[in-house]
């Protein structure tokens, strides 16, 4: 029997009411210490009420001194757990599951200098691993169903695994296996210290630059992460915000890689990128082994899009991928329905 968009599905122990995922989307509204307020609770309540089966929260830094950009949510300190417990409760109350996207924008030493992978000591690499594992433990304490390790979009872990950035000659550089070691050790650490927590990762299918991670190596990277213990992989890329995508034009631009990956790994693959219509979504489900479909900008335009799609009121999103949302406060659509 074929897969349907709006059917209950079990993926790696996570029970979802449908196959639609809110892909992590930047809001930039947290306090400097990573604390969140009523605006954030309202945004996530609206998203969960809109009908997705799974919500992945926006970029949540694992470090207190990460200054890659302002307004980051954080899970670097135990005192933040009650705020995130409330966030989880808000989402669960609407019948959606939720993952915390754990990320690091950049590695900063105590003197404030940002340091790239080549210049880091082994102890500093282990410190980053510790940050991710500790943040995952806090996520579990807050009641999150799982976490997503952010290895995409050229943030810290994405740069670390990229041959365009990482030129180390020790056990953390050189081969794909060595450059992936930091992420594999993070995944294994989460598995050991937060047993039962669902663990996903977001990975570039390509860095889309000379000398960067290409699709062949991305496939190897993903398999290494699966072997380390992942429950699923969300396929993205370094150029995620393709302009001008709309229903019937340019949809599902990472689907070819996601389809290949899904045919070669035994964990669910999540496809994000340019999904705008029921037809394109169902075609992906019918023609590939991809299990889940992730949306970002269509939910900025209309958080109720999943419910309206499920009810048959609409067959496509009116989002035209103008990318104007990137220049607004809270990453809101300028033309919101």
**Pairing assessment for the beta strands 107-108 and 114-115 based on DSSP bridges:** antiparallel
Asked whether residue 324 carries a pLDDT value surpassing 80, the answer given is no
SS3 category, 233: strand
pLDDT at 325: 76
pLDDT tens figures, 19-62: 999 999 999 999 999 999 999 999 999 999 999 999 999 999 99
Which residue(s) pair with 114 in the sheet? 108
Which residue(s) pair with 97 in the sheet? 54
Secondary structure (DSSP) of 141-201 = HHT-SEEEEEE-TTSHHHHHH-TTT----STTSSSHHHHHHHHHHHHHHHHHHSTT-EEEE
pLDDT category of residue 238 using cuts at 50, 70 and 90: confident
pLDDT category of residue 1 using cuts at 50, 70 and 90: low
**Sign (positive/negative) of CA torsion 172, 176, 182, 184?**
negative
Residue carrying structure tokens 């990277």: 221
d(CA 259, CA 181): 25
Give whole-number Cα distances, 183 to 64, 96, 158, 249, 301, in Å: 20, 27, 10, 35, 34
CB atoms within 10 A of CB 226: 20
Question: Does the model's pTM come out above 0.75?
Answer: yes
pLDDT category of residue 332 using cuts at 50, 70 and 90: confident
Asked whether residue 271 carries a pLDDT value surpassing 60, the answer given is yes
Q: What is the mean pLDDT of residues 288-304?
A: 96
Which residue(s) pair with 316 in the sheet? 277
Q: What is the mean pLDDT of residues 266-283?
A: 97
Helix (H) or strand (E) holding 115: strand 114-115
**At a CB cut-off of 8 Å and minimum separation 6, what does 32 contact?**
70
d(CA 239, CA 117): 22
d(CA 218, CA 258): 11
Q: What is the mean pLDDT of residues 204-213?
A: 96
């Amino acid at each position: 029997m074929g897969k349907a968009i709006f059917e209950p599905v079990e993926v790696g122990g996570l029970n979802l009411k449908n196959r639609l995922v809110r892909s992590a989307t930047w809001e930039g509204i947290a306090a400097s210490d990573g604390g969140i307020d009523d605006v954030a609770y309202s945004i996530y309540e609206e998203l969960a009420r809109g009908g997705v089966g799974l919500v992945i929260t926006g970029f949540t830094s694992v470090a207190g001194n990460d200054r890659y950009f302002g307004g980051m949510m954080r899970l670097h300190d135990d005192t933040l757990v009650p705020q995130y417990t409330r966030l989880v409760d808000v989402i669960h109350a609407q019948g959606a599951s939720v993952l915390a996207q754990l990320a690091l924008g950049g590695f900063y030493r105590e003197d404030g200098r940002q340091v790239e992978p080549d210049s880091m000591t082994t102890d500093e690499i282990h410190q980053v691993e510790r940050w991710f594992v500790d943040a995952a433990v806090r996520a579990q304490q807050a009641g999150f169903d799982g976490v997503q390790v952010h290895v995409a979009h050229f943030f810290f872990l994405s740069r670390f695994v990229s041959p365009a950035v990482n030129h180390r000659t020790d056990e953390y550089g050189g081969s794909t296996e060595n450059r992936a070691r930091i992420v594999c050790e993070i995944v294994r650490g989460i598995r050991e210290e937060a047993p039962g927590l669902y663990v996903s990762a977001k990975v570039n299918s390509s860095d889309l630059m000379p000398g960067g991670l290409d699709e062949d190596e991305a496939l190897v990277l993903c398999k290494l992460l699966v072997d380390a213990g992942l429950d699923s992989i969300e396929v993205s890329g370094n150029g995620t915000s393709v302009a001008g995508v709309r229903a019937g034009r340019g949809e599902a631009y990472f689907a070819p890689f996601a389809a290949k990956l899904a045919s070669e790994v035994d964990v669910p693959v999540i496809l994000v990128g340019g999904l705008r219509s029921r037809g394109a979504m169902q075609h992906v489900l019918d023609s590939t082994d991809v299990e889940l479909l992730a949306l970002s900008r269509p939910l900025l335009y209309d958080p109720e899009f999943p419910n309206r799609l499920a009810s048959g009121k609409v067959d496509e999103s009116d989002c035209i991928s103008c990318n104007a949302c990137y220049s607004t406060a809270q990453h809101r659509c300028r033309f919101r329905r």
